[in-house]
Every structure is written in C-alpha cells, then in structure tokens.
Amino acid sequence: MRLLCNCSASLPPPTSSLSPPKPPPILLFTTTTTNSLNWAHKTLIGALTGALSFSLLFSSPSSVALDSSLLTQSQPPPSSADYCRQEDQTEDRYETAPGLLTNEGIVDEAWEIVNDSFIDTGRHRWSPDTWLRKKEDILATSIQTRSKAHDIIRRMLASLGDPYTRFLSPSEAVFDITRVLFSKMARYDMTGIGINLREVPDENGAVKLKVLGLILDGPAHTAGVRQGDEVLAVNGVDIRGKSAFEVSSMLQGPNETFVAVKVKHGNCGPVQSIEVQRQLVARTPVLYRLEQIDNGDTSVGYVRLKEFNALARKDLLIAMKRLEDLGASSFILDLRDNLGGLVQAGIEIAKLFLNQGRRYVIYTVGRDPQYQKNIIAETAPLITAPVIVLVNKNTASASEIVASALHDNCRAVLVGERTFGKGLIQSVFELHDGSGVVVTIGKYVTPNHMDINGNGIEPDFQNFPGFKALKRLKRCCKPRFYC
C-alpha cells in the first residue's frame, strides 16, 4: 500500500498539518421557565438544543410532560381543549411564581439545579451534605441586590472546582451563547430545512415529534413551520412510531429540492401541509480512496472523516459502499484530528458497524436518571468488513465514541496515539430572571466501562501493524454478556 502498508512506517499524515483547537464542551440546553424570554430569544435558545449533543436522546421534560404528571390516575384522560388550557395555565404559573423572582429565590434555584443534576467528575469537592450547608450559610442573610445574587451564584459554582460549570448573566445567556453557537446549528442541521426535532410524550403516553428549535429565516421558518409544531408526515408518509433521527433523515435530500412537511401548529392549532425548499449548509466531511496491497491482489478502502456534521453518516455510508463495490475487503477509518461535532451522528455511525441486540455503542452516566442511558445497536450492521481506525491526541468526543464502540465490540483495531479524552456532557439551564447556569450533568463510558474523560483511549498499536493485525478481532472479547 503506497502510504499505509509498511509495517515499520509511521502513520500517514492527516490532511491538515495545523494543530486543531481543543474540543468545546458538549452542551445541552434546558430552560426552567417558559415565558421569561421573548419569542425570538426563546427560539434561538431552543434552536440550539441538541445541535451539538444528545438532545435526540436526552431532553428536559416539556410542558406537555409536566402537565400529564399533574393528573391523578383516577381522572379520565383530558380532552384536547382541556389539555391546551392546562398547558397555558402551567406556563402562567411559571411566569408569575413570585418566590423565584426574589434574589434569594434565584440563588436557591441555581442551588437546586446543581443539587439535582451536577456530577463530580473527579475532584471530589461535592457532596450532598457540604452543598446543603453552603445553601444554609448563603441564605442565612438577606441578599439586597440582583447583582449580589449573581455574584453569590458565581462563587457557589466556582467552589465545585469544575471548569465547565459556570454562571451566565442574562446578556450572556441570551446573546453570547446564541451568537457563538447559532451558526453551528446550521452547520450541524440534520434535516436540510433548518429544524431540530424532539421526541415528546403526549397525554396518552405515546411519543410525538415536535420542532424544538428552528433557524430564524431558515427554509422551514420561512415556509411557515413554527417552534412547537408537531410533525405528522413527510412527503405523505406518516411518521408515527419513527424516531427523531429517522424523520430527520426523511427530511434530507438534494440541495434546493422540495419536501412536503405536514405539521400541526401548537397543541390545538390547525394541521397544514407545507412545501419547504432544502438548503444545505454543511459540507461533506468524508474523503476516500481505494488502495492496492499485496502487489495489487487485495483492495483496501481508505476513508477520512474530518468531523461529525449533518452529512457524516450518509456520506460515510456512501463512500464505504462505493469502495466495497470497487473490491475493498477491509477499511481504514481515519479519525485523526477529528474533534467531534454532532454526537448523535457519531452514535449512528457506530451503529453502522455493530450487530443488533446487546452490542453497546456507549454508556452515559449521570446522577439524574434521564442522563443514564445504555445506547445499543437496533439493526443489523450495514458494514461488515474489518476496520483499522487511526487515532491521535486530537481525536475527541464523538470520534472517541466511534473508536471505542468499534474497538470494544471487536469490530476494529486502533492505531496511533492515545485520544484526547473528552467525555463530559454539559447542560445550560435558564433561570427565572433570564440568567443561566452551565452544569456538568454526565459523562461517557465505553462499552468496556472505561471512563473516556481525562483518560482518552489507548490504541492497540502506535505504528501501523499491517493488515494481519485484523486477525486479532476474531480472538477479542466483546463487552459484557459476550466474554
């Protein structure tokens, strides 16, 4: 092989010689109030939810879920009109809750968020007892000004010793975060029409898909789709029973073509079929070529994945299928200098290689049960050929999820350097005065139960070992249940 077959050779250089920046924290966006921001600002924050993280798997309970939890089991299911009125009343209660708008109330609200969701990632400075004492000490005296309350929250969060857990002033929460990350939603838009979808339980326990965020003046917004709309069908196909990721894939298509989206506006609004013209912003992150080894007797597919954006899964699958059609019997997947991106895309890419059933892609660990997930492959693998994955110190986040999933499930050999070790999940919570707190609420654990954060993943080989190393995949021990 021209670049990769020499067993004593160093690894082939990635396409860029520049050292990429450190990966940013993975963010979830969670609001604890519904009306404290005007519509445009709420839409911006909503649109960011999940653009970089696990929103398709994890999201805070919506007002719909909160409403249904208020009903006793002895009550009959509410009518549609009653349900809409209940939701409106719930929003009013949030908006007018007087205790939370006092200075002490804002501090207590931030304290409660940490108490319920924060996970100590290794510094061991946090415990329920010490955190309770801190609250008692802080609230023992009157807090005279909102500025003083915000300073107290800053110091309170700083005492945790977690560099990612921090306070956001109202201007930072509304403008800075959205300005920095808004362009990334377009970059990671999985639909091509500028919306993100969330799976929301309805009053009967079923799941429906709602628009959790949309790009202002984007294709869907311009055509008439609105925040909170329920998606009913795509191109005439009923989407009941489908996941948010599946429906996002249905919405994709060639640039400037049209897709018909049937939506229900709000909880009680009219049903409308809307023609939306796709406008793709993301560029393909996949480069590939066919290499010949063994004097041309064997073909190997080389695929470089630069980032996990909205096109990553589709373009990677196309590349590998084309290489297989050209005769590739094994693959090299180059994840060097890939800092991650859309984590959900990483999960879906890992599933391409794994057998359905008890083949774990990744675990997430958190104190809140909604952040404790075991993610498995649900379908037969679309790619069965053996794989060598190239990694280095800048392989991070979603790249580490893919590398560990393939490695721990005996689907790939890892070659290169220890990976970066980015495995934390942060969530942004909005407080009732428009400020916010960013809190570390979870972390990733590999299928073999290794903590990624701060440790990275150790490769099997530092230098390219040759393709005979793939034979070890037949002898390796799969995670749990398979050993």
Cβ-contact 337, 305 below 8 angstroms: no
Q: Which residue among 210, 262, 306, 422 is the active-site one? A: 422
Q: Which tokens hold the place of 89?
A: 């009343």
Q: Which residue among 397, 399, 404, 427 is the active-site one? A: 397
Chain centroid to CA 230: 21
Residues 6+ apart with CB under 8 A from 416: 11, 336, 390, 391, 392, 395, 459, 461, 462
Give counts: helices (H), strands (E), the chain: 13, 17
Output Rg (C-alpha) for the chain, integer angstroms: 24
Torsion of CA 33, 116, 267, 74, to 10 degrees: -120
Pairing of strands 230-234, 26-31: unpaired
Q: Which residue has the tokens 């077959």?
A: 5
Pairing of strands 387-391, 373-376: unpaired
Distance (Å, whole) CA 191 – CA 454: 33
Half-sphere exposure of 469 toward its Cβ, with a 13 Å CA cutoff?
Answer: 23
Q: Which tokens hold the place of 320?
A: 């590998």
Chain centroid to CA 303: 23
Q: Which residue has the tokens 């309770």?
A: 132
Q: Which residue has the tokens 């979870």?
A: 442
Is 397 among the residues known to form the active site? yes
Catalytic positions are 397, 422
